Amino acid sequence: MKNAFIAMGSNLPSHVGTPAETLFAALHELSELGPIVSRSSLYCTAPIGFENQPAFLNAVINLEIPPQITPHILLRELLRIERNFGRDRSQEQPRGPRTLDLDLLLFGDLVLSTTDLTLPHPRLHERAFVLVPLAEIAPHLRHPLNGATMEQLLKKLKLQSGQVECTESGTWYR
């Protein structure tokens, strides 16, 4: 079994409700791919790039992947789940608002570069909205290319006040 770390984000309502409700419902669909080993708190994060949009809710989960699921199969499933919640990547503005965003960050210690998938995620170390929740659930996990732990990568990142904040409860929508 491999462990895959998946970043989750939402800042628009979907057919199931608010962004928090969307992430919770997506969590259920993700659990059908394999057991969820751990999940971070929910974090409210400011948009990057295209700033005229609502704040995002973000989280990271650690999913145990059965041997028959390859990284490309997992990516295909993540895109299918996004579509189930109303995301149409072909129609959206880059870095714009979305109902659901699922990014494959790590797949075990696999290093891969193909036309449709790069592992580890090429911007993992640059994104506070990924590193904060990832370091919460796996602080000692090492980046497969540079060997730094998630905690070390987070310390190198210059966080600004209010950039990534744990939601009031710090827990998932129930």
Q: At what angle do helices 19-31 and 71-84 cross, to 10 degrees?
A: 140
Q: Is 88 a catalytic residue?
A: no
Write the CB contacts of 16 (distance below 8 Å, at least 6 apart in sequence): 22, 25, 85
Q: Is 103 a catalytic residue?
A: yes
Are the C-beta atoms of residues 89 and 101 closer than 8 Å to each other? no
Residue of 98, 109, 127, 174 marked active site: 98
Residue of 101, 123, 142, 174 marked active site: 101
| 80 strand-pairing partners | none
Residue of 39, 76, 83, 103 marked active site: 103
For the annotated catalytic residues, the residue numbers are 87, 98, 101, 103
